[in-house]
Structures are given as C-alpha cells and as structure tokens.
Amino acid sequence: MDDLYLPRLARITEARDETPDTRTFVLRLRDGSVPGTLPFVPGQFLELSVFGCGEAPFCIASSPTRPDAIEVTVRRTGQLTDALHALGPGDEIGLRGPCGNGFDLSSARGKDLVFVAGGIGLPPLRGLIWNVLDEREQFGKVTVLYGARTPSDLVYKNELADWGRRDDLELLVTVDRAEPGWEGNVGMVPILFDMTELRPATSLVYVCGPPIMIRFVVQDLLMRGFAEDSVISTLERMMQCGVGKCNHCAIGHRYVCRDGPVFSYRQIREMVE
C-alpha cells in the first residue's frame, strides 16, 4: 500500500545562506536522484520531515526543467525550521509529496507574465520563473517585481543579479527601508507598477507574499484592469497532513493542500472562511 504518511528519505547536498534567517537546501532522494523519481510542477509543495521534531510543508523552489536536484528555501520561524537550519550537507531528512495542484503552465503559454513577490514569497514563484526562462520562446514579455523589507532580506541575490542582466526578462526590485549602500528603489511593491508597462489584456499575474501585500497588490491590479481570473496566487495556511485529511488548511469545503495552494483571485474571493 502506498502509504500517504510515510516519507521518502532525502539527503541535503548543499545549504546556502540567502539572508540572516533564510537558507536554501538542495536535496537528493536516497532511492535515486535521476529525473523522473519525483515528478512535480512549479507551485507544488513538499512535506519535509526533520525526524524527532516533525514535519512541515515547504514549496519547491526549483524547476522541473532542472530535475537533478530539488531546492527548498526555508526561513527560520519555529521549532521545525530551527531544527532544519541546524542540518547541513550530508544530513538526511524525510520528504513527502509533491502535494497540491501547482501552477497551470499550459494556460500561461503565449501570454505576458508578471511575477509579483514580497520577501519570502519569491521562492514559490522562483521554480515557475526558471521553468518559464528555460522555455522562454513559449511566453511573451516576462516581468519580475520583487520587494523586501530591507536589502538584506532579499533572497537569491546572485540570481537577481543574473536576471537583471538578461534582456528577455524585466526585473524591478524595491525595499521598504534602504540600508547604506542601497541605490535602488525604496517603497512598497505596488510602486513598481508605475515603472513598467503593464498589459492587463494579455497578461497573467502571479502574486506571492505576506497577506497584507497580496491584498494591496491585488486591489491595485484590479483597478488597473486585470481580470480576477488573470491574478493567480499561492496561499499560505497552517498545514499538517498535506493530503486533505487533517482539516487544518480547510477554507469552506476546499483544502489548500489538495485543491490548492494555487488559486486565481476569483476562486479566493468565492471561498468562505
């Protein structure tokens, strides 16, 4: 019987510091790291086990177009993430999934794509961005708008520098509070909307960040003429089982872990808490 709750074992092969409290872990499955052992789509998530502590859900931050390893980016916020941060290369953890629906790439082909991320909200979109860049010719204009509290809180700094140099991607970054040496934008994410050309009729917007940011960004986008179906987000909820049984992530009769975590704004608006 395929056990819903039994994790597979995976080894941490690399751990990279992103910010003072955020680290990216590169994982390889013990029972075969070849492509195909863990088929997933961007936007899906994994239940990671630190044995003796428990398990928690984390989005996959890498792309299925680069299947050699799986990456997750984790901010320290509690017991399990503390325990995970105490681990390093060579250590073994458990992994269940992939869970959830993920982003529907087929509906995005041929469209202009706008990614709007706040703080630790970039990792869930990063796999999708990679996937889009690896199949770049299938998509229209690609814009990434990213904001964090301070320059130190920006994740994937090296990658942001790479993306900034590409001519097939427009990257705009802002911080709420500047630090010495920061010469970029200062202000909340929506200020970036006026610095780029938005095309509501032909675009899909992917939004991920703290709830307060999502609320302001979505309001702004709707005022700018984006349809509710064109604004797509991935929801954060307290989760335990990841397979639609434990009820922690239920909104009405929908389960974020099973029916989501990716929903259009229309779907989110129609859900009853």
Partner 1 sequence: MSDQNSARGGKAGPRGAFAIERSHIDDWVSTLLERGEVIAPTAGCGGDVLYAPVSTPEQVRWEFSNSLHPPKEVLLPQTDPLFDIRGDRAGWQLATLPPQSPRILLNARSCDVSGLQFLRRVHASDLEDPAFLRRDAGLTVISLSCPMPCPQGFCVCCDAGPFLDDGFDIQLTDLGEVMLAEAGSANGEELVRAAGGWFRPASEEELSRRCLLEALAIDSFGESTCHFASAMRRISTGRVADALWDTMSDWCFECGACTLVCPTCYCFSIKDRRGDGAWQRCRLWDSCQYAAFTLEASGHNPRSHRKDRVKRRFYHKVSAQYYVRDKSVGCVGCGRCVTVCLGTTDMPAVVAAIRKGVWHG
Burial of 199 by CB count in 10 Å (0-12 exposed, 13-18 middle, 19+ buried)? Answer: middle
Site for partner 1 in 18-57 (CB under 8 A): 49, 51-56
Site membership for partner 1, residue 176 (CB under 8 A): no
**Which stretch, 2-10, 16-24, 131-139, 161-169, contacts partner 1 (CB under 8 A)?**
2-10
Phi and psi torsions of 177, nearest 5°: -130, 125
**Which stretch, 110-118, 150-158, 187-195, 240-248, contacts partner 1 (CB under 8 A)?**
240-248
The residues, any chain, with a CB within 8 Å of residue 11's CB and separated by 6 or more, are 27, 28, 30, 90, 91, 92, 93
Residue type at 178 in one-letter notation: A
Site membership for partner 1, residue 223 (CB under 8 A): no
Position among 164, 184, 210, 225 found at the interface with partner 1 (CB under 8 A): 210
Look up residue 229 and give its DSSP letter: G
Site membership for partner 1, residue 149 (CB under 8 A): no
Site membership for partner 1, residue 250 (CB under 8 A): yes
- Structure-block tokens of residue 253: 């009769």
Site membership for partner 1, residue 234 (CB under 8 A): no
If you write DSSP's letter for every residue of 105-158 in order, what string do you get?
Answer: GGGTTTSEEEEEEEGGGHHHHHHHHHHHHHTGGGSS-EEEEEEESSGGG-S-HH
**Which stretch, 159-167, 173-181, 197-205, 236-244, contacts partner 1 (CB under 8 A)?**
236-244
Rounded Cα–Cα distance for residues 241 and 247 (Å): 8
Look up residue 214 and give its DSSP letter: H
**Which stretch, 5-13, 64-72, 152-160, 220-228, contacts partner 1 (CB under 8 A)?**
5-13
Site membership for partner 1, residue 252 (CB under 8 A): yes
Chain residues in the site for partner 1 (CB under 8 A): 1-7, 9, 49, 51-56, 77-78, 81, 87, 90-92, 94, 210-211, 236-238, 240-241, 243-248, 250-253, 258, 272-273
